Amino acid sequence: MSSHLQVILWVCPCLRILNQLLLLHCSEYVKINDCHASHHVIASMQTHSALAIAIITVLSLATELCGLKLSSAAAMQAHICQQLAYLSMLWPTTVNLFDAVHWLNKVIDMPAADGADMCAAYVQAAEAMLAVDIADN
């Protein structure tokens, strides 16, 4: 196991982020349960890198989706589209987020048998983004 601090801790469906405001004093993680919680964490500058903002945002939606019980793929897709639009609006200057949203919209445009399959496809895509970030950094 690595000895360096990780900004993002993800074990589906649990998302925790390192509170960078406290970093000089202690290592404390904040649990993110949904998109609104990620908005608060980012707005309060508890995390602030553009790439972290993008990944935290898409993983916060993954966390939220795992708690939803929408049976139809269409209902799940509509919810994801609505939340991605909302999250994009919150951080209009974060290019990484717009790239992620564009890619995730393509993912959810693919056919799914039901809401659970649509959720699984979104979560898998969000996790792939995190894996790429970890490999690159």
pLDDT in tens, 24-65: 889 999 999 999 999 999 889 888 787 889 999 999 999 999
What SS3 class is residue 93?
Answer: coil
What SS3 class is residue 11?
Answer: strand
Taking alpha carbons only, the member of 58, 62, 56 closest to residue 76 is 62
pLDDT bin (cut points 50, 70, 90) of residue 4 is: confident
pTM: 0.91
pLDDT score for 1: 45
